Structure 1
Amino acid sequence: MSLSPFAPAGRILAVASGKGGVGKTVLSAGLAHAFSMAGERALLVDGDLGMANVDVQLGLNPDADLAAVLSGEVLLEDAAVPVLGGAFEKGGFHVISGRSGSGNLANLKRDAVNKLATGLAALALSYDRAILDLAAGADHSTIRLALAADDVIIVINDEPTSLTDAYAFVKTLRRRDDGASPVVVVNNAPSDEAARNAYAAFRKTCESFLSFAPPLAGIIRRDKRVPESIRAQQLPSALFPDSIVATDLVSLASGLAQTKKAA
């Protein structure tokens, strides 16, 4: 697959959320697929060091995962496995899984997290874009990995707890780096109005208390195809390419790619 002319190698996109259950992992995997369809070589990394689940959602059974990498059993690049033909096929990408259903990686020491962040930055140079699916919340490992990214998405929905927890993430991130500028994606939106109202409330809180107005990167509308594809352990946009969620993911990826081009 040829390289995208607007894709400087190695750019890392971190996908974060204040709370779990907002569809962050489905969004991360969907973006990997959408970027690949647009001509980028994509890598998806399950950066949830406590409760990884990318491999489960994609029906993978990898021989190695981040736990094996951190224990020194394998190199980071050797833990990457192909999905839909891999990163050199249109629509395909590589995945580095976490350890499903285990909290053993959540309490990593800072030097181990720093080493992982450095390794991911180096490996990302072999791809046009690496998508880092972070754990929900704002613990030190999550924030450290977010700070290693070039771009950060904070995923929210229209639930009040989603907004308050997302604010806590942005506050913590900007406390570590006052130049951090995460963008917002409203996921599983019941309507465009509900999504924009949720974003407006979140933006107002950030402006009031952080003097920072995170831009809206996109809206992913609610789609019954998403739970169907999760049960089938497949990507919604690959299983249902004409679905609402597939259309919205393409639009989101396109907008993010243009932002990268401008940068």
Structure 2
Amino acid sequence: MSLESSILSFPTRKPPGRVVAVASGKGGVGKTFVAVSLARALAEHGERILLVDGDLGLSNVDIQLGVQPDLTLAHVMNGEATLAEAVMRIAGGATSPGGFDLLPGSHGIASFADLAEREVQRVAAGIAALSFSYDRVIVDLAAGIGHAMLKLAADADDVLIVALDEPASLTDGYAFVKLLKARRPAARIGVLANRVKNKKEADRIHQSFARACGSWLGFEPGRAGAIHEDQAVKTALRAQMLLSRHAPTATALGDIETVAELVRSGVAFETRIAA
């Protein structure tokens, strides 16, 4: 069974939900934590959410959530399952308060980490089809600037760049934005400052992106907020649990709620023409 035919078996409704790609130029910036937490926060606001693990070779959303999927996107690509069959419920699923659905990625399959353009297009088409059944689809992309990740980001409605106050994170994040803009000049991009110690550090991240993008690309990305460094995040990751369930009084949860509101309102992705 082809991916295209499997799409048809998934129930749809109109209009399609917005697709948000969560990206970064480098690994280790907390991108997957942001994607998972954003899915939970938006679900708490009553949105029907699908979280897609877009890392087709080294997926880890299921690991962070402490679940073991029977079917993944790899099975769909191989014709062993339909998209509907591969989607699994987290915390009761998208129809339950605070729950969401997950389309798991695959583990250790090198060929899926470097798909040909036609195969990437099929994955993008599948995500687009699924969006008709949800209010919002969040795609946790693999780190880096590979063609597959840029394609999925270019096809998304909004792109959230997760960055740290580190030179490598800022440089690689800018490289991703530059290549994305070359593919899709009208891309809506927001920058989220992660693991910050204070407001000054968050401002430094946003200002660094604003200067670089303004000087070389002619625009300034939106400000998608900041998440403070919080020990509770580390313990939740070790416990393989949602932060809201592991530590419901965690400071970072307030930051995540703010990010979710910026995403819901669209303010997070309001890019500006550089002066």
The two structures have a TM-score, normalised by structure 1, of: 0.94
Question: Is 1:134 aligned to residue 126 of structure 2?
Answer: no
Q: 2:82 aligns with which of 69, 75, 78?
A: 75
1:201 alignment partner AA: S
Q: 1:200 aligns with which of 198, 207, 228?
A: 207
Q: 1:120 aligns with which of 123, 127, 150?
A: 127
2:54 alignment counterpart = 47
Are 1:258 and 2:265 an aligned pair? yes
- The secondary structure found in structure 2 opposite 1:178 is coil
Q: 1:36 aligns with which of 29, 40, 43?
A: 43
Give the partner amino acid of 2:200.
E
Give 5+ residue unaligned stretches, structure 1: 1-6
CA–CA distance in structure 2, aligned partners of residues 192 and 42 of structure 1: 30
Within the alignment, does 1:144 sit opposite 2:144 as a pair?
no
Paired AA for residue 37 in structure 1 = E
Query: Counterpart of 1:179 in 2: which secondary structure?
Result: coil
The number of residues matched between the two structures is 256
Deviation for aligned residue 1:108: 0.8
Distance in 1, Cα, partners of 2:109 & 2:28: 17
What is the aligned partner in structure 1 of residue 8 from structure 2? Answer: none
Q: Is residue 227 of structure 2 the alignment partner of residue 217 of structure 1?
A: no
SS in 1 for 2:144: coil
The answer on whether the counterparts of 1:155 and 1:184 sit within 8 Å (CA) in structure 2 is: yes
CA distance in 2, matches of 1:151, 1:214: 11
**Alignment check: 8 A CA contact 1:42 1:94 kept:** yes
Structure 1 window deviating more from structure 2 (24-33 vs 49-58): it is 49-58
Aligned residue for 2:6?
Answer: none
- State the superposition RMSD in angstroms: 1.7
Match of 1:216, SS state, is: strand
Give the Å deviation of 1:9.
4.1
Contact kept in structure 1, 2:56 and 2:107, CA below 8 Å: no
Amino acid at match of 2:193: V
Q: Who is 1:27 aligned against?
A: 34
Contact 1:183 1:216 in 2 (8 A): yes
Local SS of the residue matching 2:58: coil
Correspondence for 1:97: 104
Q: Tell me the SS of whatever aligns to 2:115.
A: coil
Q: C-alpha offsets along residues 106-130 of structure 1, whole Å, 9 cap, x if unaligned?
A: 1111111101101111111101111
Q: Tell me the residue number matched to 2:234.
A: 227
**TM-score (normalizing by structure 2):** 0.90
Q: CA deviation at 1:8?
A: 5.8
What corresponds to 2:72 in structure 1? 65
Deviations 1:141-189 (A, max 9, x none): 0011011211110110101100000000000000111111211000111
Preserved CA contact (<8 Å) 1:56 1:100? no
Taking the aligned partners of 2:35 and 2:233, their CA distance within structure 1 comes to 13
Equivalent residue runs for 1:236-251 within 5 Å: 236-251=243-258
Q: After TM superposition, give the deviation of residue 51 of structure 1 in Å.
A: 1.4
